[in-house]
A and B are shown apart, each in its own frame.
Chain A
Amino acid sequence: DAGVIQSPRHEVTEMGQEVTLRCKPISGHDYLFWYRQTMMRGLELLIYFNNNVPIDDSGMPEDRFSAKMPNASFSTLKIQPSEPRDSAVYFCASSPGTRIGGELFFGEGSRLTVL
């Protein structure tokens, strides 16, 4: 299996621009997670899906952030408009667990820099 695939690996954009990050989970995994990692705050859970349905989005910082999972093999995290404080590495992870809490398989991350 190819693992969790994220794109782009690196994104540099200017403040105010729209950013879309993409994720393809491992086939057959029921859960998909979006995390954000910074030096100051570590890995923060933004949102997670179970069977394509958003379950908990309490970690999404504000309305500028949105996430979708239109099918079992694709998810997007969108930031509109982007701000410099959104600069971070964004990770997507999937899990095969039949309930929340199983081992997570992470992608390699998308490093976002907002100027």
Chain B
Amino acid sequence: SQKIEQNSEALNIQEGKTATLTCNYTNYSPAYLQWYRQDPGRGPVFLLLIRENEKEKRKERLKVTFDTTLKQSLFHITASQPADSATYLCALNTDKLIFGTGTRLQVFP
């Protein structure tokens, strides 16, 4: 069956460190993958999109990698700040956009 897996356990890291979140998928062949941020009580907000022929994409302190062989995407936040605390969702595009359940990131001072 098709599945998108994100670590359901919260990731707790110290301010200034690099946070790395994982998105694994099975039985999909997405043309591209997106990452969203969701704050409590708010809708998801788009962060980055990476295409299947791209290995890496960067935006300010964010970096996303996409390995279609491993069927995995990694999402990195460098020099993390308490304001980065949120839930991060990956989403795969097949014929529609399918979301993972998200990983909650907590950055403490």
B45 close to A100 (CB less than 8 A): no
Min distance, Cβ B38 to any Cβ of chain A, angstroms: 9
Min distance, Cβ A91 to any Cβ of chain B, angstroms: 6
With A101-B32, A103-B34, A103-B49: A91-B97 Cβ-Cβ less than 8 Å: no
Binary flags per residue of A104-115, CB closer than 8 Å to B gives 1, else 0: 111111000000
Q: Secondary structure at chain A's binding surface: helix, strand, loop or mixed?
A: strand
Binary flags per residue of A76-98, CB closer than 8 Å to B gives 1, else 0: 00000000000000010100000
Q: Cα distance A106–B98 when bound, in Å?
A: 14
Checking B31, B45, B99 against A42 with a beta-carbon cut-off of 8 angstroms, the contacting residue is B99
A109 close to B97 (CB less than 8 A): no
Residues of B near A4 (CB, < 8 A) are: 43
Min distance, Cβ B6 to any Cβ of chain A, angstroms: 9
Chain A's interface size range is 20 to 34
A101 close to B31 (CB less than 8 A): yes
Q: Cα distance A95–B93 when bound, in Å?
A: 13
Query: At the interface, yes or no: A43 with Cβ under 8 Å from chain B?
Result: yes
A43 close to B44 (CB less than 8 A): yes
Interface members, chain A 51-84 (any B CB < 8 Å): 56
Given A45-B97, A106-B45, A109-B43, 10 more pairs with CB closer than 8 A? A41-B101, A42-B100, A91-B43, A100-B97, A101-B97, A104-B34, A104-B44, A108-B41, A108-B43, A109-B41
A interface residues, Cβ below 8 angstroms from B: 4, 33, 35, 41-43, 45, 48, 56, 91, 93, 100-101, 103-109
Would you give 18 A-B contacts (Cβ < 8 Å), ordered by A? A35-B99, A42-B89, A43-B89, A45-B98, A48-B96, A91-B44, A93-B43, A100-B96, A101-B93, A101-B97, A103-B34, A104-B36, A104-B97, A105-B46, A108-B43, A109-B41, A109-B42, A109-B43
B interface residues, Cβ below 8 angstroms from A: 31-32, 34, 36, 41-46, 49, 89, 93, 95-102
